[in-house]
Amino acid sequence: MQEVQQVYALLKQAKKIIITTHQKPDGDAMGAALGLYHFLHKLGHEVKVISPTNWASFLNWMPGCDLVLDYETKKEESEKFICAANILFCLDFNIMHRTKRMEQILTEIRCIKVLIDHHQQPQEEAFDYGVSDVSKSSTCEMVYDFIAESPFKNLLDKDIATCLFAGIVTDTGSFRFSSATANVHRVVAELKEFGIDHTAIFENIYDNFSESRLRFIGNALLNRLEVLYEYNTALMAISKRDLVKYEIKTGDTEGLVNYLLTIEGIKLGALLIDRVEERKWSFRSKGNFDVNVFARNHFEGGGHKNAAGGRSSESLEQNVKNFKEVLKQYEQQLQ
């Protein structure tokens, strides 16, 4: 994988470009994709953003989101664009299988593939050019760097800034996480110069949910929360029945795992959700407990030191049992 800066020369002439992210794109993935979309479009390229799956409705306000294709519902149209592409930008994921059903076609197509991501252990052999920097707060910060370090920084505008700001906000936990470095705040200051409405962005992201979601969270905290004080760990397991009862949609469980770390003394929070195809884990931690390693070793996942995910094909009940058994290995680390 060659340095991403070498891509600038390829952008001097019009190309057909595809931008994609991981499945169920979050604020950072969608913000990065749309921010890069507006930049490349202004450069004169034919650009299409294709998501492997649907996304949370609270992201629909983002400039250009109405132009994004959902691969699962528009497969034929999506593959037409993919097969014609000269360049593929892969954002906010480090390994092809995170694109779900798009993995095969993205692996097989013969075009230039570019990675911009901040997760550990990238699949470097899958990409021609790229940058993988785990010290970065978000992929949106990295897309900003990609634009700002290019010969085309003058193309930055309000729409690009709005998309990138939204992703930085979500992936830094509203600037709470340690990844919100001094440089992040300098980037945000520059984005603010374009006249973005940060109050409206926060409201669109955090104050834009259904009543049933709030009732779902209440039920989860009251009836699904288990605190394992001997391991300074909080666990929450959500059944399919709960998801159906409260009409939970994509994005409605976003941020739920963070509630677990608000309990005094808790160092590890684990959320398990019984999805249709598999059971999905979300892990959050405080301090030096590395949930990236934890997820990779035990739950077919990975991510960052203090925020990671995982999966399993076993039942909800078996996953809970496995988790509690695995915890015994980490008792000293969690004290």
SS3 207: coil
Q: Give the chain's domains with CATH numbers.
A: 2-206 (3.90.1640.10), 211-334 (3.10.310.30)
Q: Please give the helix or strand (H or E) that residue 143 lies within, else none.
A: helix 139-148
pLDDT at residue number 303: 87
Q: Where are the beta strands (DSSP E) in the chain?
A: 2-3, 16-20, 46-51, 69-70, 87-91, 112-117, 129-132, 225-228, 233-238, 268-274, 279-285, 302-303, 307-312
Please state, as a whole number, how many other Cβ atoms lie within 10 Å of the Cβ of residue 142. Answer: 24
> Alpha helices, DSSP H only, in 249-303?
291-298
CA-to-CA distance for 21 and 25, rounded, in angstroms? 6
| 55 secondary structure, DSSP code | -
pLDDT at residue number 180: 93
Token pair listed for 331: 């008792």
Kindly give, in sequence order, each residue whose CB lies less than 8 Å from that of residue 193, ignoring residues fewer than 6 positions away. Answer: none
Q: What residues does 273 pair with on adjacent strands?
A: 238, 280
Tens-digit pLDDT profile for the chain (335 aa)?
999 999 999 999 999 999 999 999 999 999 999 999 999 999 999 999 999 999 999 999 999 999 999 999 999 999 999 999 999 999 999 999 899 899 999 999 999 999 999 998 899 999 999 999 999 999 999 999 999 999 999 999 999 999 999 999 999 999 988 899 999 999 999 999 999 999 999 999 999 899 999 999 999 999 999 999 999 999 999 999 999 999 999 889 989 999 999 999 999 999 999 987 899 999 999 999 999 999 999 999 988 899 999 999 999 999 999 999 999 999 999 98
pLDDT at residue number 304: 87
CA-to-CA distance for 270 and 19, rounded, in angstroms? 31
Token pair listed for 286: 């405080």
CA-to-CA distance for 255 and 217, rounded, in angstroms? 10
Where does residue 164 rank: exposed (0-12), middle (13-18), buried (19+ CB within 10 A)? buried
pLDDT at residue number 276: 77
CA-to-CA distance for 191 and 335, rounded, in angstroms? 41
Q: Please give the helix or strand (H or E) that residue 146 lies within, else none.
A: helix 139-148
